[in-house]
Structure 1
Amino acid sequence: MQNTVRQRRLAREIRSLRDAAGWTTTEAAQHLSWSKSRLNRLETGVAKATEQDVAEICDVYKVAESVRTALFQLVRDGTRRGWWTAYSDVFAGSYVGLEDEASLIKEWGVQLVPGLLQTEDYAREIISTGLGNGDAEQVYRRVMARMARKTLLGRPNPPRLHAVLDEAVLHRPIGGPEVMREQLRALTIAARRPNVTIQVLPFGVGVHAGMDGSFILLEYTDPADDVAYVAGTAGDVYVENPEHVTRYKVSFERICNAALAPDASQAMIAAAMKE
């Protein structure tokens, strides 16, 4: 899985250049004097292409200068350090880098408030429990990393966030009444942002399209880059196949249609806050 959308896009462009040249992977590798596996790794994004790799490809495929320049820029942008590198001890996977470049984030939450909407105390309770009430410094680092993630929604030209929460999320007493009350209040405040939409799926709906569990959709200006993400105890799953991503999009739309409208959802959150 690529660390950034730009790196994934670069892999796709390298593959497209070979297709345009009319060569098979074997033929292209021979022209490049590379092994077939090396070219496959670059085209699938398993390996990150360097500027030297791109220069050789452009020479052999006889690529126009404007395309060459654009590809070099993708290489440079793809290796750019993001804010999350300061928390490399916390963020081990690709998700945060992908989230940072998304234009639209869609999240279906069954158990918890989405990370981008969590308060510090709510996040601390979840993280501490997940670590087995472990090392205080480790808990602190993870909480601060999650709070740093939240700044994504308030930066210039922020992504849009559309979160749908199961009603159970509003009633699960994480951290006690005061922590929960503050978390619900934070949801009502977040929903006032022009780039945030929050809906609640009430218990009364019964069976629905989100029964298989939580997931996140990361969408970009180019739909070919869209990714579905599912976190799990056995490891995180990134879904990139366009057909499979579309299935998640359809499921999310069905969940939205079954959920309360944003205004009615805010009323339900406010009522839960008073309990």
Structure 2
Amino acid sequence: MPRGSSPTLRKRRLVSELRRLREAADLTIEEVGERLECSASKISRIETGRVGVTPRDVRDMLAAYGADRATVDELVQLAREARRKAWWDEFGDIAPGRYVGYEADAESVRAYQGLMVPGLLQCESYTRALIRDVRPDAAPAEVDRRVELRKARQALLLEDDPLRLHVVVDEAALRRLVGGREVMAEQLRRLDEVEKLPNVTLQVASFEAGGHAAMDGPFVILAFPEQLDPDVVYIESTRSDVYLEQPSDVARYSHMFARLCAESLDPAASSALVGRVARELA
């Protein structure tokens, strides 16, 4: 599937345009709810992407906004496309489908991870060990599905038009013995292999460098090929997933990532550190 064509990104474009048109019509969410005889919370959930939006919803909302016929036709079609199934929908019960969809559509990803190896770079044994640690009650079938999903996501790095990935990993993630020494040795070999891909850049924030710009926690910045789709910052937590789309927030995290890269080992030195940790394990 071409980048930028998945239902997830279509939905993002749709709700962004619906919000823009409502504001252009100088209507509040409450006023729209009154006109459409529905709750204001429904309009809010539509505009924030928390619920799906039907073609009929789109027609009703655009009628209230006084949109022209061409705009109505375009956005109704976008609503139909946004409701189509994607391959990751079958994993909706175990993963944030919105994030997986964004990742599948992204042209590039910049990410920082402090406590573990990022999912796109994990080997299977490390993934399984990590799931057992984080979700000790997970049934074997669920573990298998989570591994399957991670492998499907990792395939993005090997496509004809691959995802460009720039990752900064804290040295702690390399030294933490997830799954034991053998598993970590395999994981470090995996890092050595994947960092040789032309579309992958790996840097390590070393212990010797001391504090750094991203010590508040991990984050991901996703960039898309179309100008219609601005960058988004994703922050995962145990309680909820946070998506930051305001230009000021994206700029702040982009600046943070640039500082982090400058403070971390360069790719060659990072590769050498990965090799050194691997030899220590052996």
State TM-score, norm by structure 1: 0.86
Q: In 2, Cα distance between the equivalents of 1:73 and 1:152?
A: 27
* Alpha-carbon shift at residue 80 of structure 1 (Å): 2.1
Residue 251 (structure 2) aligns with: 246
Decide whether the 8 Å contact of 1:9 with 1:225 is kept in 2.
no
Task: Report the alpha carbon displacement of residue 212 of structure 1 after superposing the two structures with TM.
Answer: 1.0
**How many residues in Structure 1 have an aligned counterpart in Structure 2?**
272
Match among 191, 197, 204 for residue 201 of structure 2: 197
Say if 1:111 and 1:78 are closer, same or farther in 2 by CA, change over 3 A: same
Partner of 1:51: 55
The yes-or-no answer on 1:259 pairing with 2:258 is: no
SS in 2 for 1:106: strand
Between 1:106-115 and 1:146-155, the stretch displaced more is: 146-155
Alignment correspondent of 2:159: 155
Structure 2 unmatched runs, 5+ = 1-6
What residue identity is the alignment partner of 2:201?
Answer: T
Counterpart among 237, 243, 250 of residue 242 in structure 2: 237
Secondary structure of the residue that 1:178 maps to in structure 2?
A: helix
The answer to whether the Cα contact below 8 Å between 2:36 and 2:60 also exists between their aligned partners in 1 is no
Give, in angstroms, the shift of residue 126 of structure 1: 0.5
- Letter of the structure 2 residue corresponding to residue 229 of structure 1: Y
Secondary structure at 1:4's aligned position in 2? helix
CA distance in 1, matches of 2:260, 2:47: 35
Structure 1 equivalent of residue 22 of structure 2: 18
Could you tell me whether the CA contact under 8 Å between 2:109 and 2:166 is conserved in 1? yes
Following TM superposition, the consecutive aligned residue runs of length 4 or more in structure 1 with deviations greater than 6 angstroms are none
* 1:252 counterpart letter in structure 2: F
CA shift, 1:22, in A, is 4.7
Q: Which residue of structure 1 aligns with residue 4 of structure 2? A: none
Partner of 1:183: 187
Distance 2:250 2:259 in 1: 14
The question of whether the paired residues in 1 share the 8 Å contact of 2:203 and 2:270 is answered with: yes
Partner AA of 2:265 in structure 1: L
- Which runs of 5 or more residues in structure 1 are unaligned? none
Query: Does 2:217 match 1:217?
Result: no
The correspondence for 2:87, drawn from 83, 86, 103, is 83
CA distance in 2, matches of 1:223, 1:269: 39
**Structure 2 counterpart SS, 1:189:** helix
- The CA deviation at 1:234 is 3.2
Kindly report the root-mean-square deviation, in angstroms, between the aligned alpha carbons of the 2 structures. Answer: 2.6
Give matches, 1:167-182, under 5 Å.
167-182=171-186
Alpha-carbon shift at residue 63 of structure 1 (Å): 3.5
How far did 1:29 drift?
A: 5.5
Partner of 1:108: 112
